Amino acid sequence: MNIIEIKGLKKDYALGKTTVHALRGIDLSIEKGDFLSIIGPSGSGKTTLLNVIGCIDFATEGSVKVGEREITSLNDRQITDIRLHKIGFIFQTFNLIPVLNALENVEFPLLLMKKHSRGDVKKKAEQLLEAVGLKDYIRHKPAELSGGQRQRVAIARALVTNPDIVLADEPTANLDSVTGASILDAMREMNRRDHTTFIFSTHDANVLKYASHVIKIKDGLLSKE
């Protein structure tokens, strides 16, 4: 079952008087439970593709379905709700709310959903932080955590809503190899356990061995390997 269906996706940016064709016509289907890696050089369109899939950016042309829903025709509120309920994000650098501690950061999406009791929210957030090895750091603010610990908090937060898809943009880019490996191990473990679809972009060839599928993108066009 495909969780993402992309057909004829094009994305153009205006850069001064010129137009940059970031994506030139992408057709892509991603199955539920996939652990997909998108690779390519800088400026190839990896992040743009992730952003469109994650409803952060909008297609200039083409069709993008997340789940069964065509997202190109939705309004801001509907798009936001898809991001909240269906998608988890792990960003490369900007990842946590600075004024909230680790536990509160993980609780944040659940509190936005307003579906769970305060006790359930806390319990679930604590469980996830424990799962990513941060049981002893739940009261620490982001500034008091290392880069790896922050990414682990981001993973916990991305998973706390039980999303269908987790998007990670170069999740190990700023981490040392050991920490990067542990992050990927954690992601892979959750992929296996919960059948959550993971899509991540990377430059790092060492990361590729974790992927079940790899997509190569170059100049806004992709080829599946």
Partner 1 sequence: MNLIIKIAWRNIMRHKGKSMVIGVILFLGALLMTVGNGVISGMDRGMQKNIVDGFTGDALLVSDKQESDNVFLEFMGKSVAPINNFEQIDSALKAIPYVKNRLPIGKNFAVALNEEGGTMDGVFVLGVDFKEYFNFFGNNLKLIEGALPTDNTKPFVLVPTGWRKQSGEYYSILFTPDGVTPDTSTLGKEILDRMSDMTYKHSIVYMGMNTDNSTTDVRVPVKAIVKYRSLNTIWGNFPILDIESYRQCLGYFGAEEKKTVVKKELADLLSSEEESLDNMFSKEATVAPVTKSKILSEGSLFVKKDTVQSSVDLNAGAFNIILLRFKEGSNLEKTVATLNKDLTDKKLGVRAISWKKSTGMIGSMAVLIKTSLFVFVMFLFFVAIIIIVNTLSMAAIERTSEIGMMRAIGARKGFIRSMFLGETAVLSAVFGGAGILVGILIVNILAAFNIPTDNDMVQLLFGGDTFKPFLSVLDILLAVVQLVIVTVIAVIYPIKVASSITPLDAISRE
Task: Write out the residues near partner 1 by the rule CB under 8 A.
Answer: 47, 51, 54, 56-57, 76-77, 80-81, 83-85, 88-89, 91-100, 104, 108-109, 111-113, 157-158, 161
Residue 94 or 193: the one with the smaller Cβ distance to partner 1 is: 94
| C-beta of residue 49 within 8 angstroms of C-beta of residue 219 | no
Shortest distance (Å) from residue 212 CB to partner 1 = 25
φ, ψ (nearest 5 deg) of residue 85: -95, -30
Shortest distance (Å) from residue 146 CB to partner 1 = 19
How far from the centroid of its chain's Cα atoms is residue 34's Cα?
13
H helix intervals, the chain: 46-53, 76-85, 102-113, 118-131, 147-159, 177-194
Residue 100 or 181: the one with the smaller Cβ distance to partner 1 is: 100
Q: Whose structure tokens read 């153009």?
A: 12
Residue 188 tokens read as: 């892979």
Residue 105 or 197: the one with the smaller Cβ distance to partner 1 is: 105
| Alpha-carbon gap, residue 56 to 79, rounded angstroms | 8
Residue 113 or 214: the one with the smaller Cβ distance to partner 1 is: 113
Residue 86 or 210: the one with the smaller Cβ distance to partner 1 is: 86
Shortest distance (Å) from residue 114 CB to partner 1 = 10
Residue 57 or 126: the one with the smaller Cβ distance to partner 1 is: 57
Shortest distance (Å) from residue 180 CB to partner 1 = 19
The DSSP letter of residue 205 is: G
Shortest distance (Å) from residue 80 CB to partner 1 = 5
Shortest distance (Å) from residue 188 CB to partner 1 = 22
Distances (CA, A) of 20 to 24, 50, 88, 121: 10, 17, 28, 43
| C-beta of residue 34 within 8 angstroms of C-beta of residue 8 | no
